[in-house]
Structure formats: structure tokens, C-alpha cells
Amino acid sequence: SAVISQKPSRDICQRGTSLTIQCQVDSQVTMMFWYRQQPGQSLTLIATANQGSEATYESGFVIDKFPISRPNLTFSTLTVSNMSPEDSSIYLCSVEERPAATYTGELFFGEGSRLTVL
Amino acid sequence: DAKTTQPTSMDCAEGRAANLPCNHSTISGNEYVYWYRQIHSQGPQYIIHGLKNNETNEMASLIITEDRKSSTLILPHATLRDTAVYYCIVRVASPSNFGNEKLTFGTGTRLTIIP
């Protein structure tokens, strides 16, 4: 099973600034996703991070606000740009391995990065 | 992905079996039923999944009705550590499938285990 490390685990940011969250996986994975969880809410998919190409964003999320990079099969970053208090959330990285012989479709999640925007 | 319907919250006595229902009446033939849980302040954790047969692992059992329109997650002997939000999700799952692989979370069931 994949082990995911996210940095930072939490941060307090000022309005108008940007913050980059890192997701490091201990193995090469096929799929990487970024989710947002607003206070008291369920998880919402922001985008699929594609290795070597632009991320695929879900409705309501745009690249200018949430630029994503995925330079290789073990690492991705999510930037929250020009932050406002409404961006205060937990941001979670998720990965899926796809070994053909033992595929289960299980997604692994990081512990999340808790952002508070003042 | 097909949508699911779950009760908002449930209580269960410690040591008893917790039975969490899920309706997925619009599930497609190639969609699996997945269960995840999220313990407070942690990332979601995979529990179990199935297509049409009942499944059991070290954490739980999954009972899927014959018409596949609903399922029940069973935690056989609930402990206080099972207090969490449980998510039932239906999803196409194939190692060669690209485009339908995203996991869409609903609101889930908040399960509270009572001492």
C-alpha cells in the first residue's frame, strides 16, 4: 500500500497570499488526485493531477486558482492562490496504484493539509 | 458515477454489530460499491469493496442485494475506535479504465459508538 506524506500538515495564511502543498508518495502511482474538505463537509474533488501534462479540473475549480504540478509518478503539488477566508479547508492528496494482477481500485489518502486563512 | 443515499447519522452500542445501509438504485453493471471511513482529523481509509457477491475482510463485511440497488456494511463487533464518518461510493474500477476513475464522495453516515 502506498504511503503518502503531505506538507505542510497545517498552516495559517494571510488573505491574498498563496500556499503550495506538497504530496510525496513512497512508490510510483498511476493516478493522483487533490480533494478539498471544507469545515464540517464531505470531500470534493478539485482535480486529477496528470504526470507531464496539465491537470484535469472538476467543475467549479480553475487552474488559475489551484495550479497543480506533477513532474513525476511520485510527487505532486497543489497551490492555493490569492487566498481568502473561504479557502480555509483541509486539502487532501489521494493516489491509486494500478497493478494489473492485483488491482482493487483502492485509493490511499494523505493525512491532509489544514489551511486557515485570516 | 451513480449517486448513493445514506442515513445522516447512526448510533451503535459498543460490542454490537453496526449495520450501515446504502442505497445506490442507479448503479451501472460495471460499477463497484466501495466503503471508506474518515476518523476525525484523518484522511479517508478504505474498508471494503464488492461488485455483486458478498465480501468479508478483517475490518468488515459487505452485503450487496441481488439487484445491486442497495448494500449494507457490517462492523461485527463495534469498538469506540470505529466512531467515524462512513462513505458509500459507487465507481467504475478497472486498471485500464481512464476517465471514470475519480472517487465522488457523498455526505456519508456519521457513526457514533456508544460505550
pLDDT of residue B99: 61
Q: Say whether pLDDT at B102 is over 80.
A: no
pLDDT of residue A78: 98
pLDDT of residue B72: 98
Q: Say whether pLDDT at B48 is over 70.
A: yes
pLDDT of residue B5: 94
Interface with chain B: mutation pick from A10, A23, A31, A98, highest number of B CBs within 10 Å: A98
Shortest CA distance to A47 belongs to which of A106, A92, A103, A15? A92
HEC per residue, A42-83: CEEEEEEECCCCCCEECCCCCCCCCCEEEEECCEEEEEECCC
pLDDT of residue B79: 97
Q: Say whether pLDDT at B19 is over 60.
A: yes
Percent of chain A with pLDDT over 90: 78
pLDDT of residue B1: 55
Q: Say whether pLDDT at B93 is over 90.
A: no
pLDDT of residue A2: 85
Total Cβ atoms within 10 A of residue B46:
18
Whole-angstrom Cα distance, residue B7 to residue A95? 28
Beta-carbon contacts of residue B42 (< 8 Å; ≥ 6 apart) = A111, A112
* A105 Ramachandran zone, left/alpha/beta (phi>0; psi -120 to 50): left
Put simply, the answer to whether B101 touches A96 (Cβ < 8 Å) is yes
Q: Say whether pLDDT at B78 is over 60.
A: yes
Total Cβ atoms within 10 A of residue A83:
21
Selected residue with higher pLDDT from B48 and A2: B48
For A79, the enclosing helix (H) or strand (E) is strand A75-80
Residue B93 in contact with partner chain A when CB distance is under 8 A = yes
pLDDT band at B104 (very low <50, low <70, confident <90, very high): confident
Whole-angstrom Cα distance, residue B84 to residue B111? 6
Question: Residue A76 has which C-alpha cell?
Answer: 505532486
pLDDT band at B98 (very low <50, low <70, confident <90, very high): low
DSSP state, A100? T
pLDDT of residue B10: 97
Residue B35 in contact with partner chain A when CB distance is under 8 A = no
pLDDT of residue B53: 87
Nearest to B103 among A103, A107, A112 (CB): A107
Cβ atoms of residues A50 and A33 within 8 Å: no
pLDDT band at B2 (very low <50, low <70, confident <90, very high): low
Instruction: Mark the ranges of chain A whose per-residue pLDDT is less than 50.
Output: none
Q: Say whether pLDDT at B16 is over 60.
A: yes
Put simply, the answer to whether A42 touches B43 (Cβ < 8 Å) is no
Whole-angstrom Cα distance, residue B112 to residue B52? 28
Shortest CA distance to B38 belongs to which of B113, B111, B114, B97? B111
Q: Say whether pLDDT at B73 is over 70.
A: yes
pLDDT of residue B23: 96
Cβ atoms of residues A76 and A69 within 8 Å: yes
- Nearest CA distance, A14 vs chain B (angstrom): 23
Taking only Cα atoms into account, the Rg of chain A, rounded to an integer number of angstroms, comes to 14
